Structure 1
Amino acid sequence: MAAPQMSMGELSKSLAPVPNLGNAGNAHEEQRDGFWSSNPMFTFVNNVARSIQQHRQSLDLINPGTMENINKEVAKDVFLNQMQFSGLRADISKTFAMNPIFQVSHGLSIGGQLPAYSFTAMVGNEKTFFQGTIDNEFSLTGRFNHSWDKHSISKLTFQLAQGQQPMCQIEHDYQANDFSLNFKTLNPNFLDDTYKGVMVGSILQSITPKLSLGMESVYSSLQPGVPGDAALSFVGRYNAGDWIASAQLQAQGAFVASFWRKVAKNVEAGIETTVQAGMQPTLNELMQPVYQTVVDANTTIGAKYEFRQSIYRGQVDSKGQVSFMLEHRVLPTVGLLFSATIDQIKNTANIGCGLSLEFAGSEEVMMMQNGMMDANGNPVEGAQLA
């Protein structure tokens, strides 16, 4: 729960009196107490702050989540845009410990956009997490998270690739009882006279137990001698339990609306519409350059079927692209992946097949992977009968 606010009168009374000042000191203290308690301005501020705090506590508000997950149920859970692949791929992982976790993975790919080989190492505990990946072209990516407490977490993401500009992102999340704050900076440069890079700050506040509103500010200054740009984005999210609706008015002139619905126990569905407005240069009858407004819209509908050993995802958009993905768990440590995409407008198709293998570095880890033991080493009741 949030710490109770202290009024200015209570703050002044909690201060210890200054000793050995004689009558002058006593007179000054009485004058100070009278000022804090009788001044109309401070009395009004204290009353308003106390009323707001009491009203917030009476609403039973909950944490609204983070800004980047405003439409997570649709974009990341139902849709498969971030999971699609083409060609053949194989992921081989070996876990040496579960608490704290230590895992290494080898990735192989043929005929797709993924690197031919990649090596990933992951280590972490309840507070700290680190993951690093290097591929056959010596491109290095890393992610480091550290949780200071249950409210604050710092993140660092970096990437080094040949022929590309190095990328570094520093981020900090603060999640209170009824709001979330996020600050991040991309490729910051504090050595020059002025800041260079991209800086983003956002806040997401619960208005009611179901409704939350937020705002995001972006400041970009990349080129020396060129003034930086600033923009604002506004978001809203309504969580009714079995359905969630969200809307985003982005600074780039785009409007994104999404709707997620829990259709059945193992079935989820989602729809998302994106409307992008922009200016496109063209020539008029006198061959003079003019700008005209261009509006581009796209709507995507998808569904997710989740069963005991399989997950089916499918989606179709208004631009004629149909996608499908199957994740099937043959054994607790062996999984099969199948991905397919057909673009009706471009008359193209992509197919991907994958295999994932997980090995245990010890008998204890193997029992945890098979669901016979939890992360604390305790046997799971009824696992032998499954």
Structure 2
Amino acid sequence: MLVSERVIRENRVPSSPPSAAGVPRLVQSPSAAKVYIMTSLPITTTPYPPVAPVAPVAEKKSGALSAVSNNALASALKDTYSAFQARREALGLTNPGTVENVAKEVQRDVFLNNLSFSGLRADLTKAFSVSPLFQVSHAFSQGSQQIPPYAFLALYGTNKIFCQGNLDSDLSLSARFNYRWTPRWVTKTTTQIQAASMAGPGGAQFSFENDYVGNDFTAQVKAMNPSILDGPLTGIFIGSYLQSITPRLALGLEAVYQRPAAQLGPEAMISYAAKYKGEDWIASAQLMPSGGVQGSYWRRLSAQLETGVDLNLQFAGNPMMGGMRKEGVATLGAKYDFRASSFRAQVDTAGKLGVLLEKRIVPMVQITFAGELDHVKNAAKVGLAVSIEAAEEEVMAQQESAMAAGPVTPPF
């Protein structure tokens, strides 16, 4: 293309050289401030990279749920809940346990409940593994009417599941299976099949339980022998909730709905529980549906000695006599831990005195002595048990390594 120049106001000026890009440019004349020269130069086009097509943005469809959640009222509720949770976490509340075990420190740690026995017992336990936990046990008994002559027990546990089965010489079977869905949610199932004997016709029982353990509360739902085969829903259903109000005080309740058979009407009951924790003592109280009151007090006197007091008061009307029945039992117990043994003793106002001594002779052998004296009935019971635990060297080494890395905690 030829280069053409047009001079404005007839003043010729030499054109400036083309730019590096080869595009037209305006040049100001040095002789006149208002004289400009416009040159036409060849233009070279540079190809641009292709532009990717932009996908159209789909509009969000507002459904019924979004209309409910995206409004002023829902936003206010969310802000209120967030502020409540922030204040709740700032209190530093801890988990208070369950309503069922609100007096655990007294009933299970100090008293002889579920520990006292009579006659002779021998327990042989063999551990095959520690992680996962697997062991079997053989129990022999003589001279006791509550304990069968022989029982076989096997258990298996990991961090998520726990299985236990027990079969005795009376052909009675009991099994447990627990599963931990999350670190806070555990499902527990229990099955018991009782064979017919001289003591009774036998029967079967099944229970299903769900426990949710929060930072400052525990919720439980339990069903025993639920069934709809007879028409209406039958069984026993229990729901409980225990909440920490302050770092020391916890309040809760337990609701029971039961209908043993379709021919019988349903019944509902509610009980209330409270627990207060001090520096070295714990007090708890329960208000029963029948009008009874149960209070417990636990205190640690030293590093080895702990004591507990339990008071059970019953206030119920007598339908035959037409008056109010008032009964009460107070129990005092103590537990002392020695270096290789522990001693428990308790006495109540009903005239019963009980003791339990557990002595570990060697790391694998333990001897237990139990005694109970009833002054009112003029009766006495004595029990002696020997427990032997066996494990191979490989299992012992596995146990030491597991303790160093963190033991297995099955959902018991």
Coarse TM-score class (shorter-chain normalised):
0.7 to 0.9
Name the CA distance, whole Å, in 2 between partners of 1:351 and 1:333: 24
Aligned to 2:203: 165
Q: For residues 1-386 of structure 1, what are the structure 2 equivalents within 5 Å?
A: 19=59, 36-37=71-72, 42=74, 45-112=77-144, 113-162=146-195, 163-282=201-320, 290-360=321-391, 362-367=392-397, 373-375=400-402
Name the CA distance, whole Å, in 1 between partners of 2:175 and 2:290: 29
- Per-residue CA deviation, residues 170-205 of structure 1 (Å, 9 max, x unaligned), is 001001111111000001103343210000001111
Secondary structure in 1 matching 2:243: strand
Q: Which amino acid aligns with 1:295?
A: K
Secondary structure in 2 matching 1:133: strand
Name the CA distance, whole Å, in 1 between partners of 2:207 and 2:279: 34
Asked if structure 1 preserves the Cα contact closer than 8 Å seen for 2:95 and 2:218, the reply is: yes
- Measured after TM superposition, the shift of residue 335 of structure 1 is 0.3
Q: Structure 1: any 5+ residue segments left out of the alignment?
A: 1-16, 283-289, 379-386
- Measured after TM superposition, the shift of residue 374 of structure 1 is 4.2
- Per-residue CA deviation, residues 228-282 of structure 1 (Å, 9 max, x unaligned), is 1001010001112411110001123221100000110011100000001222233
Q: Which amino acid aligns with 2:179?
A: H
Name the CA distance, whole Å, in 1 between partners of 2:169 and 2:310: 37
Question: TM (normalized to structure 2)?
Answer: 0.78
- Measured after TM superposition, the shift of residue 355 of structure 1 is 0.3
Q: Structure 2: any 5+ residue segments left out of the alignment?
A: 1-56, 196-200, 406-412
Aligned to 1:14: none
- Per-residue CA deviation, residues 269-298 of structure 1 (Å, 9 max, x unaligned), is 00000001222233xxxxxxx522101100
Secondary structure in 2 matching 1:54: helix
- Measured after TM superposition, the shift of residue 34 of structure 1 is 12
Name the CA distance, whole Å, in 2 between partners of 1:214 and 1:257: 15
Aligned to 2:45: none
Asked if structure 1 preserves the Cα contact closer than 8 Å seen for 2:230 and 2:262, the reply is: no
- Measured after TM superposition, the shift of residue 165 of structure 1 is 2.1
Tell which structure's C-alpha radius of gyration is larger.
Answer: 2
Measured at CA, do residues 35 and 244 of structure 1 come closer, stay the same or move farther in structure 2, by a change above 3 Å? closer
Alignment coverage as a number of residue pairs: 343
Name the CA distance, whole Å, in 1 between partners of 2:104 and 2:142: 30
Secondary structure in 1 matching 2:167: strand
Q: Which amino acid aligns with 1:205?
A: Q
Aligned to 2:22: none
- Per-residue CA deviation, residues 314-350 of structure 1 (Å, 9 max, x unaligned), is 0000111000000000011100000000111111110
Q: Which amino acid aligns with 1:255?
A: V
Secondary structure in 2 matching 1:69: coil
- Measured after TM superposition, the shift of residue 67 of structure 1 is 1.9
Name the CA distance, whole Å, in 1 between partners of 2:69 and 2:139: 72
Q: Which amino acid aligns with 2:109?
A: D
Name the CA distance, whole Å, in 2 between partners of 1:33 and 1:201: 31
Asked if structure 2 preserves the Cα contact closer than 8 Å seen for 1:359 and 1:366, the reply is: no
- Per-residue CA deviation, residues 111-167 of structure 1 (Å, 9 max, x unaligned), is 112110000011111111111111111000111111111100000111101122211
Asked if structure 1 preserves the Cα contact closer than 8 Å seen for 2:69 and 2:75, the reply is: no
